[in-house]
Amino acid sequence: MTEPLRVFVNGAGVTVPVGSTVIDAVAAADPSGADAVRAGNRAVVDSRGLPIAADTPLSGGFVMRLVA
């Protein structure tokens, strides 16, 4: 059995299953934020501030932020 992944959304730690994507983590941390990303009203950036696709697979320790 594979251990779940610990990732960070807007500074908050979230635990998601292996195979999860960026939007899965955002939805776990902030369901309304995930709705805004899906609607195109917000975007997700990585720890460097570079945009990342919502369907990007996650790895442990991944850091992301929601932006307008």
Task: Give the model confidence (pLDDT) of 26-49 as tens digits.
Answer: 999 999 999 999 999 999 999 999
pTM of the model: 0.93
Under the banding of pLDDT at 50, 70 and 90, the label for residue 1 is low
Q: CA quadruple 7, 12, 15, 17: dihedral positive or negative?
A: negative
Contact 25, 9 (CB under 8 A): yes
Mean pLDDT of the chain: 97
